[in-house]
A and B are shown apart, each in its own frame.
Chain A
Amino acid sequence: MGQYGFTLVSGLTAGSTYALAGAAFGLVFFVTGRFHFAFGVWYGLAGMFAAWAVTVPHWSKGPAIVVALLLGIAGGMATELIVYRTLDRRAGGLSLLGVFIASLGLVIGGEAIMGLVFKQAASFNISLVPVNVYHWATVPVPLISLTVFLVCWVMLVVLYFALNKTSLGRQMRAVEANSSLAADYGINTKRIILIVFFIVSAIGGVLGILQAGAYAATPVMGENVIIYAIVVAFLGRNRSIITIGLIGEALGLIEAFVGFKFGQLLQSLVIFVVLFVFIAGISYAPAIQAFRLRRSATA
């Protein structure tokens, strides 16, 4: 029971971070149309900087977290303003591909630079909360896990209300539905896109810092999160933020229990299996529907 419980807590904790990362990636992809791989770089930079600043130059936690967050936000917004918009203007019909390649390049380049600055094998940690462990029945619940879970879900709920109940959220959804029409109704689409990058980069920064607190910060930490973010975003397409949250949790639990039962190699594989099953489901849905119709017609 104890091990199952611990796996459950691990799955829920990781799942909440996948959920928030997926919601952020989905927001930026579906509203702006940008395949924002570089989300992982700014997530990594925020986490890495916060942990490094506390560990090496011995900053106190508050300023380290604030500066790390600001760096992540500034990086994300600069990516949109300097890289993506320039490509939009110059690449014409190829801008989607251009953004994808540039974003991928930013991840590779960003990680290499972080490796040079912070040393390639660097691994820092920031102590966000005391090392307390609570017990729920016989299940040990570390305070850091509880903190990560709560912070992620609070942010998901805030994002849900911001998108559905505020004028800014409506404008974002309008740009997502039809950006040209949104401009026809007076929405400044460029401003909205920049605000989306601000929000998404802030979420990335918070996630990076949480990752540095719960596990460790490394120069390549952004690679993993972006994969999970993409999977959750696509599984949760056209669904509410809360549903996306639940999808992230389900993914975290599946991953944790597969790891517990079958080892780490299969744990890494499960994410792709889930994605392929989903894609296959979409691809074969019309054929399955047609088969059912034919069968009901002949019955």
Chain B
Amino acid sequence: MRTYEVIFISAPGTADDDLTKLTTQLEQTVTTRGGIVTKTEHWGRRKLAYSIGKYDEGNYTLLYIDGTGQEIAEVERRLRVTDFVIRHITVRTDEDLKRAAKVKAKRKPTAAGRVPGEDLNLDLDDSDGLSEDEE
């Protein structure tokens, strides 16, 4: 299973109804194809860093999708044909997140009771723990 994040920006004048309709529609397309929308975030109206077409602001919606990739194709197609969506992007996140989780897990044992300059004292800490156990 892959995880994706789909962000799209809808034009500021879009009716709330249209937006909710689109998001539910997208969720349906995903679920009928065997994927899951794990979370939907509405960031609301945000100022764009640069103007897109004639818009300075946009309504951001973020979907977290678990799936195989097929449903993404359909979601993207829908976003492309929807007029009030002015920009969208899909990012596959599972590989990077998995890697991040691995790094985090690896660091955890040594990160407990972290003090500045702990990298230097790593051996000391370990041997202390051992000797106590032996006694």
Specify whether A and B are partners.
no
Interface residues of chain B, those whose CB is within 8 Å of chain A, are none
